[in-house]
Chains A and B, each alone.
Chain A
């Protein structure tokens, strides 16, 4: 880990990983959408609307994955003062917020035909909405200081505090009687979902993850380049 605390080395790694992540993301997203939207059977109860699942469920997974990654990177940044970890956390926040927004919007579009309402205040929906506000708060706090280093450190502490919400989201469907269904893929007794639907779901999940890595590499490189430009400008000023 300490090896990659060096920005130059990290940028070289990101540059090498980026085209691979892009290829995997585009290939699996294309295949996943084809299987999900065209080549998988409609649900016996939900009909064609079940196809929203292939966009919604991986987005919700990524929303939590990105937050966990952001909190982990923030902890690393605070403990070992890795500058690159700060950059990674900062680059993750808008991506995670976008996934959370996508999960909320597609969930709402799915809820209307299935539950008869765009929104219910059940534990899963509320805790994901709070996750979205935590992302917004992180980004706002990050940008609220004239001194960039201050914003980074304050936002890192906030990201760690907000991590209490992640297990609440995961277990909200078990702890409360919610309209949202409980987990059907990540279960101790194996997935309770038919392989014809599991295949596109897994493809989409891989595609979303690869997309995250692709955009993360792009954003981290852009961020580090921006810092270099800023440093050069300061030197010449």
Chain B
């Protein structure tokens, strides 16, 4: 666990010193959301209907935008090679990296989400569920993204390739994340969808470190 906390601290410190990177992702999230009222028209009823979906899609895209940086700088400067030969298990390093990514991207998105709900005229009954769904769902985005980010290390056009690889895998999170808010808005219990979101995150937590670590090993081989 020492390696885990050391790596997490290091990544958070790096993110803090280059805070503009995280802020750019946040700004992208806000801008992408704001585009929708401008595109589909400002009628409050339409916005309220699509609001939860728009917030989720924007969150997905914003999380993905910062994902290719997860291992790239370590790969470029050789830190990754040291992590691979370090005594701490590489799977644990992947978890630390994904955790740092979530803390620097997922959490700001969750904090900004109520404001986006306001922009999109989201019904007050949906806010709590939206935040809960985002809190349960976004960690799995970081974890699945870690696999994609590790796979595209050193590839040409890594960023565009990454979206092709991981957006299909994000679909379940999107479906159940939006489904939870829709259920809450129609006075049905959102618990089933929230449970599935939690299950997805737990499954991602258990399963994704292995392929991500395998991808990192073959990247520095």
- CB within 8 Å of B: which residues of A? 78, 126, 130, 133-134, 136-137, 140-141, 144-146, 150-151, 153-154, 157-158, 160-162, 165
Contact = CB atoms under 8 A, between A and B. Distances in A.
Interface string B157-179: 11001001101110100000000
A144 B168 contact: no
Given A130-B168, A146-B156, A157-B218, A140 B211 contact: no
B151 A150 contact: no
Highest count of chain B CB atoms <10 Å: which of A134, A151, A157, A162: A157
Nearest to B151: A154
A130 B215 contact: no
B218 A126 contact: no
Contacts of B169: 161-162
Given A126-B171, A144-B152, A157 B214 contact: yes
A157 B168 contact: no
A157 B151 CA distance: 8
B154 interface: yes
A150 B219 contact: yes
A134 B218 CA distance: 21
A59 B23 CA distance: 47
Contacts of B221: 153
B171 A144 contact: no
A134 B169 CA distance: 9
B168 A137 contact: yes
Contacts of A134: 168
B40 interface: no
